[in-house]
Amino acid sequence: MTAAKNRILELRAELDQHNYRYHVLDEPSIPDIEYDRLFHELKALEAANPELVTSDSPTQRVGSAALSAFTQVRHEVPMLSLGNAFEETDMREFDRRVTEGLDLPVGDLFGGGAAVEYSCEPKLDGLAVSLLYQDGVLVRGATRGDGTTGEDISVNVRTVRNIPLKLHGTGWPATLEVRGEVFMSKAGFERLNATQLEVGGKTFANPRNAAAGSLRQLDSKITANRPLEFCCYGIGQVSADIAETHIGNLQQLKAWGLPISHELKLANGIAECLAYYRDIGERRNALPYEIDGVVFKVNSIAAQRELGFRAREPRWAIAHKFPAMEELTELLDVEFQVGRTGAVTPVARLKPVKVAGVTVANATLHNMDEVARLGLMIGDTVIIRRAGDVIPQVVQVVLERRPDNARPVKIPEQCPVCGSHVERTQLVKRSKGRETISEGAVYRCVGRLACGAQLKQAIIHFVSRRAMDIEGLGDKSVEQLVDEGLVSSPADLYALKFEDIVDLEGFAEVSSNKLLSAIEGSKKPGLARFIYALGIPDVGEETAKVLARSLGSLERVQRALPQVLTYLPDVGLEVAHEIHSFFEDAHNQQVIADLLKHGLQIQDQGDLGAEFAASTTLGGFLDKLHIPSVGPGGAQKLAEKFGSLQGVMSADWLDMRQALPEKQANSVREFFASEENRQLAEAAEKQLADFGMHWQSEKKVVEGLPLAGQTWVLTGSLELMSRDVAKDKLESLGAKVAGSVSAKTHCVVAGPGAGSKLTKANELGLKVLDEEAFVGFLKDHGVPV
Ligand code: NAD
């Protein structure tokens, strides 16, 4: 007896604490399933010892007290919780209680009972809110709180986009309290967490915590920026009845502009309820929002009134829960896996646990930044989440269950596979001529192909279908070939002999010959395929195709300087550096040379891609040099003025000043005063020329055009075309289009609303054209309008 009493007191204190964290702080420390276990333990103990039940027990109450930072709101009609069922038998038991409660005939194994009408709705996992409409106008929004007293969150609910501030149509009761769930879609949740990670803000373990944390904000501006949605599932206080059934009520609310579930259905009897549950269960992963079960309600309002309430829940409704997506388990160890590009990734080894029907023993930890963000230690109790088809993730540490002997997670200094040094990657960013280097989240084993793990992965990638497409060489065979020392680089595959293969596990005469001919058959890969097969970090199939198409030959790809590579579509400086350093590496050079020696003939090599060749202009090239404070516009001016890189580098101060304002002119001269910058620029220019790219000097292009040497100004608004289009047209005639009027301006095009520029043009006695005259001028010069 005292043991039971003690346990009851212990459980109450613990559940109170979890209720507070969940309902008030929106920061639960354990998954729901663990809370439910403790709750059911308490319920069972109280059922066995009814004399110990007190009204303040969590089994008798709803939620938790309102947060005092918000104004409090009294619910005229209490906002209750729901009873829940996990098994079909619980549901049949619920149906029996309802049928009995309504004095209807109860069936037996052979049927024969009355079929009660139930409404079926998904149980959205968010936060319950009450919306009060007076004469059709939203006057108050509140949380559930402890069911009797909630928090006034009127300002916040107004920011939820699908909550109508005014009801549509007519005929609503003067007082209408609507109840429903504010939730966050799966996509909204992913987006929010991604932005939070970017700005170093707090991330959320699941959409429900994100929704609750977003809605209960003291600053409604934060709420307004969160992707919250509302779904209505019932009514509270009303000054007049609406319909005779629950579904009738909801359909009327929908007509008044309130969103209700698209999945709302009527079930005739318990069997149809169970079918609905199974159907939604199968579609659960595909729904755009998270649900934790299905809510069934007796559809007739009269029957609901007859059945009434128990302490914390109605007798006419039940939540049939789905298997939980979060579970508790123990982090036994963190191991490090080495990937194809040498990335050393932490993987959580977990005490096996069933999550939503699947046993989970490992979970990805992404990188060491993630380990730090989670504050993870070996020995910790952690929350594992397995949402849909996504690989299991560790979402949280249960700090209060951290054992004394918990150990920190340390990145190994040596590669666990080959013993080479493990380095933290660096991120190179170049902006405004300055290179900044920061620490990346990834650690890499520097062993490259000398590392067994990387070698195996490299070969598996090399032979894969989208790479060299060598059929008959599975992962296990590759591992054997590497372990037996028969293959230590992709080139060794082409030296394999029948007797090397036939003794491998899973091989016999026929399969060995087949493999040899598959290897032989792979000797004429397309250039893109071959580049992809090399497994250059950050170079996927698409980038490989771009490299092949643009540069046209392996030789050019191997030689390309990072500055030249950045001309390729979607190749940034970081990837350009990866590609360049891959081909600079002596070991990689050897592998490529060996592959060619073994008779590999790379196909479709040829000229530089036309689109690439056309993509270079001198202005664009100068812009890519990232001269501090010189943007694309400044680079263009330099190109126009000097016509070549040499011209820019040797320009004197006065000439430079004619092209650019003082600060930029200084910056260009300073930039080219550095021998290193000159060499880099010259090398890139030379390489582009070697590759057969010759940019037209903008100067020459302009010469000979009708408006060459003229400066035009556009002001006011144009009706027939945008200012940008007008600018393009003028430039196609060789004019320069400037932003301000001076004595050097040749002509001003002034549309309606032109102001000070037009006044100045008139003062200076410049030629001014209105839009009509301008269009006529363009047509006279053969420019289509
Ligand atoms: P509940 O969430 O199981 O059910 C009631 C709630 O369901 C309603 O308040 C409403 O918000 C929601 N709901 C969604 N769709 C609905 C629909 N169509 N019709 C009616 N209601 C609908 O019960 P509860 O009392 O709000 O909270 C208990 C839940 O909270 C349990 O799942 C429990 O695990 C969890 N909890 C977790 C912790 C923790 O520490 N992890 C602490 C406290 C509570």
Q: Tell me: do 773 and 683 sit in the same domain.
A: no
Q: Tell me: do 513 and 542 sit in the same domain.
A: no
CA distance 574 to 307: 68
- Residue closest via CA to ligand 1's atom 19 equals 233
Query: Mind listing the pLDDT tens digit for each residue in 513-571?
Result: 999 999 999 999 999 999 999 999 889 999 999 999 889 999 999 999 998 998 887 88
Q: How many A from CA of 82 to the centre of ligand 1?
A: 7
Q: How many A from CA of 237 to the centre of ligand 1?
A: 21
* Domain assignment of residue 181, yes or no: yes
Q: Tell me: do 541 and 513 sit in the same domain.
A: no
Question: What are phi and psi for residue 177, nearest 5 degrees?
Answer: -105, 120
- Pull the structure tokens for residue 258: 């309130």
- Determine whether the shortest distance from the Cβ of 177 to ligand 1 is under 6 A: no
Residue 593 CB: number of other CB atoms within 10 A? 11
Domain residue limits at 727: 711-780
* Whole-Å CA distances, 375 to 119, 394, 509: 44, 11, 54
Question: What are phi and psi for residue 595, nearest 5 degrees?
Answer: -60, -45
Q: Tell me: do 638 and 586 sit in the same domain.
A: yes
Question: What is the pLDDT, as a whole number, of residue 700?
Answer: 44
* Whole-Å CA distances, 776 to 36, 227, 762: 79, 51, 21
Listed residues 472, 488, 522: the one ending a domain: 522
Specify whether the CB–CB gap between 445 and 454 falls below 8 A: yes
**What is the domain-level CATH number for residue 49?**
1.10.287.610
Listed residues 691, 722, 753: the one ending a domain: 691
Question: For residue 126, which atom of ligand 1 is closest to its CA?
Answer: 11
**What is the domain-level CATH number for residue 297?**
3.30.470.30
- Pull the structure tokens for residue 125: 């996992």
SS3 string, 198-232, reads: HCCCCCCCCHHHHHHHHHCCCCHHHHHCCCEEEEE
CA distance 221 to 439: 34
Question: What is the pLDDT, as a whole number, of residue 512?
Answer: 93
Q: How many A from CA of 748 to the centre of ligand 1?
A: 69
Q: Tell me: do 286 and 164 sit in the same domain.
A: yes
- Determine whether the shortest distance from the Cβ of 81 to ligand 1 is under 6 A: yes
* Domain assignment of residue 422, yes or no: no
* Domain assignment of residue 388, yes or no: no
Q: How many A from CA of 306 to the centre of ligand 1?
A: 24
Q: Active-site residue among 123, 729, 736, 757?
A: 123
Sign of the four-CA dihedral 152, 155, 159, 161: positive
Q: Tell me: do 572 and 718 sit in the same domain.
A: no
CA distance 705 to 518: 60
Q: Tell me: do 576 and 683 sit in the same domain.
A: yes
- Determine whether the shortest distance from the Cβ of 544 to ligand 1 is under 6 A: no
Which residue positions in the chain have pLDDT lower than 50?
697-700
- Residue closest via CA to ligand 1's atom 35 equals 32
Residue 632 CB: number of other CB atoms within 10 A? 12
Instruction: For residue 261, say whether it is annotated as part of any ligand binding site.
Output: no
C-alpha triplet 459, 461, 467: angle, nearest 5°:
115
* Nearest of 440, 433, 301, 277 to residue 369 by alpha carbon: 440
Q: Tell me: do 601 and 532 sit in the same domain.
A: yes
Report, in angstroms and rounded to the nearest whole number, the Rg of the chain calculated over CA atoms.
36
Residue 700 designated active-site = no
Q: How many A from CA of 726 to the centre of ligand 1?
A: 61
Instruction: For residue 698, say whether it is annotated as part of any ligand binding site.
Output: no
Half-sphere exposure of 645 (CA within 13 A, CB side): 24
Residue to probe by mutation, ligand 1, list 24, 81, 320, most atoms within 8 Å of CB: 81
**What is the domain-level CATH number for residue 573?**
1.10.150.20
Residue spans of alpha helices (H) in 118-264: 154-157, 186-198, 207-215, 220-224, 246-255
Q: Tell me: do 673 and 565 sit in the same domain.
A: yes
Listed residues 503, 522, 541: the one ending a domain: 522
**What is the domain-level CATH number for residue 737?**
3.40.50.10190
Half-sphere exposure of 706 (CA within 13 A, CB side): 10
- Determine whether the shortest distance from the Cβ of 180 to ligand 1 is under 6 A: no
Q: Tell me: do 140 and 261 sit in the same domain.
A: yes
Instruction: For residue 144, say whether it is annotated as part of any ligand binding site.
Output: yes
Place of tokens 């007519």: 170
Instruction: For residue 181, say whether it is annotated as part of any ligand binding site.
Output: yes
- Pull the structure tokens for residue 23: 């309902």
Q: Tell me: do 47 and 181 sit in the same domain.
A: no
User: Count of domains in the chain?
Assistant: 5
Q: How many A from CA of 126 to the centre of ligand 1?
A: 8
- Determine whether the shortest distance from the Cβ of 123 to ligand 1 is under 6 A: yes
* Domain assignment of residue 371, yes or no: no
CA distance 291 to 614: 53
Strand ordering across the sheet containing 175-184? 137-143, 127-134, 175-184, 228-238
Instruction: For residue 232, say whether it is annotated as part of any ligand binding site.
Output: no
* Domain assignment of residue 369, yes or no: no
- Determine whether the shortest distance from the Cβ of 32 to ligand 1 is under 6 A: yes
- Determine whether the shortest distance from the Cβ of 212 to ligand 1 is under 6 A: no
* Domain assignment of residue 701, yes or no: no
* Domain assignment of residue 419, yes or no: no
- Determine whether the shortest distance from the Cβ of 24 to ligand 1 is under 6 A: no
Question: For residue 21, which atom of ligand 1 is closest to its CA?
Answer: 40
Question: What is the pLDDT, as a whole number, of residue 614?
Answer: 66
Q: Tell me: do 494 and 475 sit in the same domain.
A: yes
CA distance 71 to 150: 9
- Determine whether the shortest distance from the Cβ of 668 to ligand 1 is under 6 A: no
* Domain assignment of residue 406, yes or no: no
CA distance 213 to 23: 10
